[in-house]
Amino acid sequence: MNTPVLYPMQLSPVCRSTIWGGNRMRDCFGFQTKLDNIAEAWMMSARDDNPGFIISGEYMAQRIDKLIEEYPELLAKGNTDPACPLLIKFIDARDKLSIQVHPDDAYAQAAGCADPRGKTEMWIVLEAAMGAELIFGTNRDFSQAELRSAIENGTLEDLMNYVPVKAGDVFFIPAGLIHAIGSGILLAEIQQNCDTTYRVYDYNRRQSDGSLRALHIDDAVACSRHFTEEEVEALQYVNGNQDPHCLADSKYFHVEQHTVRAAETFIVGDDSFVSVLVTNGEGVLSYNGEEYPLSAGVSYFLPAGMGEYTVRGVGGAVGILLSRT
């Protein structure tokens, strides 16, 4: 049986356009597309519906999902499941997103969703316009009947918890927490590999063909609940990680943020792959005598068991997000 070549695999962004999307990723990251806007760029997507391509090295031009299907041990040593557990994105909200919620694992499986896992996610705000805000849960506890009534009576927004945001803010969104990204926000999102969204309210916006986007009220009501700040924090740091670089140490993903000037060494162990997402600046990733360029908007998949690699800034600092399971 062949063994895979382990090296930092640069991935192409998978750009997607929506009714609320902006175009800052063209300017910030140099992404090129014929789409009207770039609402989302899926930076590590090992999905068969929107796969990323490897654009460097031994496996250049191959789909990352197909490579993992051939070598599931790229996700973790001894692993035989080719389903990648994470999906990593940039999101540019020119307009506000719909008020929405995602199922947890149990609901997704019981409902027979196309994705057999739920969607817990987190956001790292990269840019925010003056006065930008988002919806982060609800401002009080509620029953399913109260939530349904608020939706039907047009008073849902009165139940929402609005939070002002600035660059650098971090939000952990457990499955079941109602949320929405507000207008004027560019962020990075790390999430379970699930594309199931239950839209609760969309401000009666019409698409280019004049139609309203579908709502999923029954599923949304069944999935949603109120979370306290203490509950969210406990889920975000389930292992109590106090490392200042650690943004989340949850059941589903571990995320660190590093600003690197002088060379720093990191390790990809046997237990998980690592995603490197560059948020700002320029730098170099060095591995096994080779150098790999880092610049804002670049994404690398580092296969499990790759071992030590070094990152250094060029002309200043380079900002990176390191995500793993």
Query: What residues are annotated to the active site?
Result: 199
Q: Which residue type, as a one-letter code, is found at position 230?
A: E
Hey, which residues does 318 pair with through a beta bridge?
Answer: 260, 281
Phi, psi (rounded to 5 degrees) for 149: -65, -40
Length reported for the chain: 325
Q: Token match 């990191």: residue?
A: 266
- Cβ atoms of residues 185 and 132 within 8 Å: yes
CA distance 199 to 283: 39
- Cβ atoms of residues 266 and 311 within 8 Å: yes
What are the angstrom distances between the C-alpha of 171 and each of 45, 135, 188, 190? 21, 10, 11, 11
CA distance 145 to 61: 51
- Return the structure tokens found at 239: 């292992």
3-state secondary structure of 291: strand
DSSP H or E segment with residue 173:
strand 170-173
Return the exposure string of 23-40: e unless at least 16 CB atoms fall within 10 Å of the residue's CB, then b: bbbbebbebebeeebbbb
